[in-house]
Amino acid sequence: MENHEMKFIAEKGKQELFIIREFDAPRDRVFNAFTNQDMLSKFFAPFGNTMHFNHFDYRTNGNYSWSNKDAKGNTLCTFAGTVHEVHAPERIIQTSEFMELPERGHVVMERMDFEALPGNRTKLVIHDVCLSVADRDAMVDSGMDRGLIDIFNQLDSIFSKEEHQIA
């Protein structure tokens, strides 16, 4: 069985963090999952919540806004950002801002690299850089790692179902 453990690296006193996760799917499928509105809405909300797009122009020099909602339709969080580069199937560079903060400007620069691995597998490396150590620490303390684990596991389930439908 392949290793699906997520590595979450956040060194004390630094503005950056790294998220590393492998998937049992070819790089183009994993990349598509992170750039396709329909696919994202199927897995990018943890713990039984749902993802809704307010705006989706996901291309180089585009922008986006999405919200996660609970079962009652209450908005839990909204993120918005600018897409700086979409270089299929290798890389995405974007900004992201958590819109529920009382003060604007806590933007995160994010780079996602998709590495093809042997056996039609993919390694995703996410490198986030925050404006301050305090912003990065707030992200880490929010429990984002638990949410990402759930999101990535949901994506694994989608890939597994697709694989069974093809077979």
- 84-127 pLDDT tens trace: 999 999 999 999 999 988 788 899 999 999 999 999 999 999 99
Positive or negative: CA dihedral 3, 5, 10, 12: negative
**Six token digits for residue 35:** 């750039």
Could you read off the pLDDT of 67-83 as tens digits, one per residue? 999 999 999 999 999 99
Residue 63 has pLDDT above 70, yes or no: yes
CATH of region 7-166: 3.30.530.20
Report yes or no: 54 and 37 within 8 Å, Cβ to Cβ.
no
The domain limits of the chain are 7-166
DSSP class of 104: S
